[in-house]
Amino acid sequence: MGSTANGETHPSLHSIHWFRKGLRLHDNPALLAAATDCHRLHPLFILDPSSGRAGTNAWRFLLDALRDLDRSLREMGSRLFVVQGCPEEVFPRLFHAWGTTRLTFEVDTEPSRDATVAELAERHGVKVIREVSHTLYDTERVLALNNGKAPLTYKGLQSLLASLGPPEKPAPTLTLEHLQGEHGVVDWVSHDTEYGVPTLEELGQDPTEVGPHLYPGGETAALARLNSLMDRTAWLCDFKKPETEPTSLSPSTTVLSPYLKFGCLSVRTFWWWLDEVYQGQREHSQPPVSLHGQLLWREFFYTAGAGIPNFDRMVGNPVCLQVNWDNNPQHLRAWREGQTGYPFIDAIMTQLRTEGWIHHLARHAVACFLTRGDLWISWEEGLKVFEELLLDADWSLNAGNWLWLSGSAFFHRYFHIYSPVAFGKKTDRDGAYIRKYLPVLKDFPAKYIYEPWKAPRAVQEQAGCLVGTHYPQPIVEHGAASKRNLGRMKAARAQKGNKSPRRRPPHRPPLPPTGENCLAHAPAAFYSVAKHRENRGELSRKRLFSLPRPAAAAGGKAIIPPSSATIQ
Ligand SMILES: Cc1cc2nc3c(=O)[nH]c(=O)nc-3n(C[C@H](O)[C@H](O)[C@H](O)COP(=O)(O)OP(=O)(O)OC[C@H]3O[C@@H](n4cnc5c(N)ncnc54)[C@H](O)[C@@H]3O)c2cc1C
């Protein structure tokens, strides 16, 4: 597969392209490198069952994306090979079985096992090619420009990027022309059995737990979504993030985040297409509030995640304020389950649990409520819940934004606390958003929809919902809780040198749960449920755990933040 300028391939060149994020054929330079002059290409995705927190909705998104990728490759006579196991164990066997000489993959800025895999490949005489395409810029280069340190302000990042010029243009999409070499014979039937994309059940997920299929995964859906957004010139040019509405019944921002997270959509493709739209217009909004500005926020947190040790935790994170957060499992559960008694907060958490996506300012509201606002619970707990429930859960972006919202890093106007009552009212006085996600409250008059506990008993009876019986009383009193927490925050900040040492605490595992897979790893339950089913004979042993047999080897083919602060 793949050909030289004179149309020849090297019979000895056998590539594996390792998909993790970057689940696409467009702007995928590592995939193109794999195809170049290549006699046989194995597009590979490894499902790693070691650990992870992703919920069913996110799994569905990933499986959609893998099926879409397989469909696109199939149209060119190739297929996606899905193999389960740990990359360190999988690769040596694949190298041997497939006679691999070249391994390509996209640079991952998150802590990962890439260095181990690269070493392992080199030991097997396999050449490794890595290409940057998940971010607009090469974060290593940006860090090097800043003496190895991550910029801690958006403006700081902007000035570094200005010295690098605009982001690179997207690489050409992989087409049949890139795959012109001799094709391996794909046995379509055995391919599905041995390397097919598994189902949710096969991953130990309960398919009845998924919510409405609002954002189907995959490159095709990503490009269709981008395409239709790019037709809305006026909207794109007027886009100012703080003016979009968290309470809108249909999304008021792009919802491209799950596609960017999994790399179904290239950020460079998004950037340059938007640039074209801007070019034709006299005026358009600017960073940090414009859509280009949003992509720079993404870049900001990726760079921070790549440059700051222990970015996703408090201890050992040198930029993170050290706070003595409370341990209150009951409050944490109430927040997670949308049972705080504050309808705005509970509606957001319900939308998150069922649909897997919530507006940025809705994230602000619930994150502030959990941490410095009301419950004084560690941002790391919120991060874990988001990691499970968000379709776009992204290691760098999730940690960076939780650090920000909890007042632990980047953001210093900690005294601006979102009111769980007043904030939602700003854009939705009647509470339509609450009525949609909390139908138990749908018949409350607008006057009480944000504070149903204040409604007289007769009003509650008329609405068919007694607070304390059908819907909880508030778990804290916002006024008193936020005042107390403000004092605690001031005290934490006042402590001299309240920054964590750079050392990683010894009890932590060496890697965060996001590893080689873009969905982090499979949940712990996955391995055991799958094993259990296998034992019951419901799944073929090969399908779940096997690596390829040599025979198969031939088959290769608001409170709106004040304007003086940088708004994110
Ligand atoms: C506590 C908290 C946790 C978050 N966790 C995540 C996460 O895990 N994954 C994630 O993608 N975003 C996260 N965000 C950032 C932001 O809320 C989402 O990126 C955004 O709401 C996604 O919707 P959209 O695609 O419609 O965004 P748009 O407004 O349409 O923006 C376009 C793209 O810009 C990027 N972007 C926008 N805002 C931010 C931001 N603040 N930081 C970084 N990138 C941004 C995203 O890639 C987004 O898709 C978090 C925000 C908060 C407050």
Q: What is the pLDDT of residues 261-292, one digit of tens each?
A: 999 999 999 999 999 999 989 999 999 999 99
Indicate if the pLDDT at residue 156 is higher than 60. Answer: yes
Residue 436 lies in a domain: yes
The answer on whether 300 is annotated among ligand-binding residues is yes
Indicate if the pLDDT at residue 105 is higher than 90. Answer: yes
Question: Bridge partners of 457?
Answer: none
CA geometry: angle at 380 spanning 378 and 386, to 5°?
A: 120
Local confidence band at 8 (pLDDT 50, 70, 90 cut-offs): low
C-alpha separations of 482 from 115, 372, 418, 419, 486 in Å: 45, 7, 9, 9, 6
Token digits for 483? Answer: 């005042």
Give the nearest ligand 1 atom to 364 CA: 53
Identify the domain boundary among 182, 197, 212. Answer: 197
Would the CA dihedral through 107, 112, 115, 121 be positive or negative?
negative
Q: Which residue has the higher pLDDT, 9 or 383?
A: 383
Mean pLDDT, to the nearest integer, of 306-333? 98
Q: How far is the CA of 293 from the centre of ligand 1 (A)?
A: 11
Mean pLDDT, to the nearest integer, of 554-567? 37
Domain of 75? Answer: 9-133+191-197
Query: The domain spanning residue 411 has which CATH number?
Result: 1.10.579.10
Q: Tell me: the pLDDT tens digits for 179-230?
A: 876 554 467 778 999 999 999 999 999 999 999 999 999 999 999 999 999 9
Q: How far is the CA of 251 from the centre of ligand 1 (A)?
A: 13
Give the nearest ligand 1 atom to 261 CA: 11
Pocket-testing residue among 300, 360, 391, 416, ligand 1, by greatest number of atoms within 8 A of Cβ: 360
The answer on whether 393 is annotated among ligand-binding residues is yes
Type and span of the H or E element at 130: strand 127-131
Local confidence band at 53 (pLDDT 50, 70, 90 cut-offs): confident
Local confidence band at 557 (pLDDT 50, 70, 90 cut-offs): very low
Q: Tell me: the pLDDT tens digits for 394-410?
A: 999 999 999 999 999 99
The predicted structure's pLDDT at residue 566: 59
Residue 448 lies in a domain: yes
Local confidence band at 563 (pLDDT 50, 70, 90 cut-offs): very low
The answer on whether 335 is annotated among ligand-binding residues is no
Q: Which of the residue ranges 181-195, 315-329, 330-344 would you say has the lowest mean pLDDT?
A: 181-195
Distance of alpha carbon 117 from alpha carbon 466, whole angstroms: 58
Give the nearest ligand 1 atom to 568 CA: 41
Q: Tell me: the pLDDT tens digits for 356-396?
A: 999 999 999 999 999 999 999 999 999 999 999 999 999 99
Mean pLDDT, to the nearest integer, of 533-550? 33
Q: Which of the residue ranges 55-64, 481-490, 523-532 would you say has the lowest mean pLDDT?
A: 523-532
Residue 359 lies in a domain: yes
Local confidence band at 541 (pLDDT 50, 70, 90 cut-offs): very low
Which residue from 261, 270, 306, 263 is spatially nearest to 290, judged by alpha carbons?
270
pTM above 0.85, yes or no: yes
Distance of alpha carbon 361 from alpha carbon 345, whole angstroms: 12
Number of domains in the chain: 2
The answer on whether 394 is annotated among ligand-binding residues is yes
Q: How far is the CA of 485 from the centre of ligand 1 (A)?
A: 26
The answer on whether 81 is annotated among ligand-binding residues is no
Q: How far is the CA of 190 from the centre of ligand 1 (A)?
A: 40
Q: How far is the CA of 502 from the centre of ligand 1 (A)?
A: 27
Q: How far is the CA of 483 from the centre of ligand 1 (A)?
A: 29
The predicted structure's pLDDT at residue 9: 66
Residue 553 lies in a domain: no
3-state secondary structure 447-489: HHCCCHHHCCHHHHHHHCCCECCCECCCCCCHHHHHHHHHHHH
- Look up residue 389 and give its amino acid: L
The predicted structure's pLDDT at residue 181: 63
The answer on whether 206 is annotated among ligand-binding residues is no
Indicate if the pLDDT at residue 530 is higher than 80. Answer: no
Distance of alpha carbon 534 from alpha carbon 195, whole angstroms: 16
Identify the domain boundary among 197, 229, 249. Answer: 197
Q: Tell me: the pLDDT tens digits for 237-253?
A: 999 999 999 999 999 99
Identify the domain boundary among 475, 494, 513. Answer: 494
The predicted structure's pLDDT at residue 528: 30
Ligand 1, atom 1, lies closest to the CA of 402
| DSSP strand pairing (10-19 vs 38-47) | parallel
Ligand 1, atom 3, lies closest to the CA of 398
Distance of alpha carbon 352 from alpha carbon 338, whole angstroms: 10
Q: How far is the CA of 213 from the centre of ligand 1 (A)?
A: 20
Residue 286 lies in a domain: no
The predicted structure's pLDDT at residue 554: 29
| Beta sheet of 102-106, edge-to-edge order | 81-84, 38-47, 10-19, 102-106, 127-131
DSSP state at residue 254: -
The answer on whether 68 is annotated among ligand-binding residues is no
Indicate if the pLDDT at residue 564 is higher than 60. Answer: no
The predicted structure's pLDDT at residue 508: 35
Ligand 1, atom 17, lies closest to the CA of 360
Residue 545 lies in a domain: no
Local confidence band at 12 (pLDDT 50, 70, 90 cut-offs): confident
Residue 428 lies in a domain: yes
The answer on whether 298 is annotated among ligand-binding residues is yes
Give the nearest ligand 1 atom to 295 CA: 34
The predicted structure's pLDDT at residue 57: 97
Query: The domain spanning residue 105 has which CATH number?
Result: 3.40.50.620
Residues with CB under 6 A from ligand 1: 241, 251, 253-257, 260-261, 291, 294-295, 297-298, 301, 359-360, 363-364, 367, 386, 390, 392-394, 397-398, 401-402, 405, 568
CA dihedral 374, 349, 294, 430 (to 10 degrees): -90
Report the Cα–Cα distance between both ends of the chain, in Å, rounded: 45
Distance of alpha carbon 386 from alpha carbon 247, whole angstroms: 19
- Look up residue 416 and give its amino acid: H
| Main-chain phi, psi angles of 47, to 5 degrees | -90, 115
Q: Tell me: the pLDDT tens digits for 129-143?
A: 999 999 999 999 999
Residue 92 lies in a domain: yes
Ligand 1, atom 23, lies closest to the CA of 255
C-alpha separations of 480 from 85, 375, 476, 485, 488 in Å: 51, 11, 8, 9, 13
